[in-house]
Amino acid sequence: MNVPTIDIESVDIDAPMFEPSAFRLSDKQAEWCETARKLGKAKFAPRAPEYDREARFPTENYKDLYEAGLLALCVPERFGGGGAGYQSYALTAAEVGRYCGATALTWNMHVCSTLWSGPLADDLEMSPEDREAHERRRAIHYKRIVEDGAIYAQPFSEGGAAAAGGVAFSTEAVPVEGGWIVRGKKIFASLSGNANYYGVLCTETEPDGKKSRRNTLYLAVDANAKGVSVVGDWDPLGMRGTVSRTLLFDDVFVAEDEALMPRGLYFNAAANWPHMFMTLSPTYMGQAQAAYDFTVAYLRGEVPGMPPVKRRMYPTKQIAVAEMRIKLEQAKALWFQAITEARPNPSKDQVLRAWAAQYTVMEFANDIAQLAIRTCGGQSMLKSLPLERIYRDTRCGSLMLPWTAELCVDRIGKGALYEPGETDDE
Ligand SMILES: Cc1cc2nc3c(=O)[nH]c(=O)nc-3n(C[C@H](O)[C@H](O)[C@H](O)COP(=O)(O)OP(=O)(O)OC[C@H]3O[C@@H](n4cnc5c(N)ncnc54)[C@H](O)[C@@H]3O)c2cc1C
């Protein structure tokens, strides 16, 4: 019997996730995605197992992201950055997520400090005085990133209802001469001990001590400032390289110029630019693609370093791959639409779609990863291959506030059945 030889080049598992001409990407978008893919394939994928095993922050990857201009991707061009908007960021981040989930997820926290203070803030109403002050202040942050490769984290979770958007953040900023005194605690602070600045969401206290969500401030706290400490261990199921330990702020002085957004702007953004909370999804979109790509290569006997054994001829495997592909296409199509219509004051339909996209990506990524392991079989769950890491990492997506899978379901159901202001009270 003639055994056909395997053409290793026949399936490109590093092909663009969103083929530029099919998805009408701009040349710049295609270029950013290609940069991410090349870095991912050459550098991030080989390093990922070690970061995962040691639960260590991907410092080396951050040097590469800086050198490739990706730390400043969303810094507006006039400040020396890439000038990428929301959709461009999401597409690029998905490509990073294919190779190292922890890098993509932490890079999201960093990029949000520039995306929210940059293109998002530009879309929102501000007084001329606030706009002028914001322009001057963000120049300080962007210079640190563009010139020095500074890394910004984004700790907002506190373990209470604030991260879901229900109540004011407990972490407080007490106004003092020239700035604020910040005190409080943040849990799950990705990049803890590794970022240069923590972009902390906190509540500016009123003179009577009352706390309101309207008074949320977004302040950059220097990681080396007096009173900042990182505590607790970090030995989780997945996303281990994010190093999301607990941060304590013990009467930390933060100067006025460290505000990443003017007073009131975060509250305004949360209400009027809701897609700002969907930026965790690209990481998991990329991981869903990676789980599928690996499965195809594995069943074809084309995984480098593995014996070239084919398993694709079994109908059950073909059905499982079809199921994975259908889920992947569904997630990609819905997600692409949602990131494309991210804008200020979206329609109700667009917001429902964004929640549905977030839910779909977070849940399907893990569904696809578990189907991948079942379909590839025992060898695929060995730590020498990426699938078991993707399986563990993707389990985390649905848990991330403020748009956890559960909260998305709650909001879609309520939003679909009620118009604003409607109740069932007699
Ligand atoms: C790998 C990883 C990295 C992270 N990095 C960061 C980071 O950098 N910065 C950051 O701020 N946070 C980060 N988080 C935290 C994350 O966003 C959540 O805040 C955290 O997982 C919530 O913890 P919890 O599930 O114990 O919260 P809980 O508040 O106890 O919520 C438990 C669950 O209850 C549900 N729930 C909560 N509130 C409501 C409500 N009002 N109505 C209905 N259901 C509700 C949600 O589905 C939630 O999943 C990270 C988390 C992970 C897993």
pLDDT digits (tens, 9 = 90+) for 41-75: 999 999 999 999 999 999 999 999 999 999 999 99
With the most atoms of ligand 1 within 8 angstroms of its CB, the residue from 57, 188, 276 to mutate is 188
Q: How far apart are the first and last CA of the chain?
A: 79
195 lines ligand 1 (CB under 6 A): no
pLDDT, residue 281, reads 98
| Cα distance between residue 396 and residue 139, in whole Å | 34
Atom of ligand 1 nearest to the CA of 186: 11
339 lines ligand 1 (CB under 6 A): no
- What mean pLDDT do residues 100-122 have? 98
409 lines ligand 1 (CB under 6 A): no
| Cα distance between residue 251 and residue 308, in whole Å | 60
Helix (H, G, I), strand (E, B) or coil at 82: coil
Q: Provide the percentage of residues in the chain whose pLDDT is more than 70.
A: 97
What are the pLDDT digits (tens) for 15-42? 999 999 999 999 999 999 999 999 999 9
- What mean pLDDT do residues 95-123 have? 98
Which one is the CATH code of 273-417: 1.20.120.1200, 1.10.3720.10, 3.90.228.20, 1.20.140.10? Answer: 1.20.140.10
Q: From residue 196, give the alpha-carbon distance in Å to each of 72, 150, 152, 169, 311.
A: 15, 6, 6, 22, 48
What lies within 8 Å, CB to CB, of 138 at 6+ separation is: 79, 117, 118, 121, 260
Residue 402, preceding bond cis, omega within 30 degrees? yes
- Residue 307, both tokens: 């014996």
**Residue that wins the pLDDT comparison between 426 and 200:** 200
With the most atoms of ligand 1 within 8 angstroms of its CB, the residue from 169, 396, 399 to mutate is 399
Q: From residue 410, give the alpha-carbon distance in Å to each of 153, 177, 239, 352.
A: 29, 43, 26, 11
Q: How far is the centre of ligand 1, averaged over its atoms, from the C-alpha of 167 (Å)?
A: 14
- pLDDT confidence bin for 422, thresholds 50/70/90: very high
Assigned fold of 162-264: Butyryl-CoA Dehydrogenase, subunit A; domain 2 (2.40.110)
155 lines ligand 1 (CB under 6 A): yes
Q: How far is the centre of ligand 1, averaged over its atoms, from the C-alpha of 363 (Å)?
A: 15
Q: How far is the centre of ligand 1, averaged over its atoms, from the C-alpha of 159 (Å)?
A: 7
- Residue 285, both tokens: 């979109």
| Cα distance between residue 196 and residue 228, in whole Å | 12
Backbone angles phi, psi at 266, to 5 degrees: -65, -45
Tell me: pLDDT of 10 over 60. Answer: no
Q: 71 near 62, Cβ under 8 Å?
A: yes
Q: How far is the centre of ligand 1, averaged over its atoms, from the C-alpha of 396 (Å)?
A: 10
| Cα distance between residue 69 and residue 62, in whole Å | 11
Atom of ligand 1 nearest to the CA of 160: 29
| Cα distance between residue 95 and residue 251, in whole Å | 40
- pLDDT confidence bin for 6, thresholds 50/70/90: very low
User: So where are the chain's domains?
Assistant: 9-150, 162-264, 273-417
- Residue 109, both tokens: 């926290």
Tell me: pLDDT of 2 over 50. Answer: no
The CATH homologous superfamily for domain 9-150 is: Acyl-CoA dehydrogenase/oxidase, N-terminal domain (1.10.540.10)
| Cα distance between residue 386 and residue 374, in whole Å | 14
Atom of ligand 1 nearest to the CA of 402: 17
- pLDDT confidence bin for 122, thresholds 50/70/90: very high
Mean of pLDDT over the chain: 95
What are the pLDDT digits (tens) for 265-308? 999 999 999 999 999 999 999 999 999 999 999 999 999 999 99
112 lines ligand 1 (CB under 6 A): no
Q: How far is the centre of ligand 1, averaged over its atoms, from the C-alpha of 400 (Å)?
A: 5
Q: How far is the centre of ligand 1, averaged over its atoms, from the C-alpha of 335 (Å)?
A: 21
What is the SS3 string spanning 160-227?
CCHHHCCCCCCCEEEEECCEEEEEEEEEEECCCCCCCEEEEEEEECCCCCCCCHHHEEEEEEECCCCC
19 lines ligand 1 (CB under 6 A): no
- pLDDT confidence bin for 207, thresholds 50/70/90: confident
102 lines ligand 1 (CB under 6 A): no
Nearest-CA residue for atom 23 of ligand 1: 159
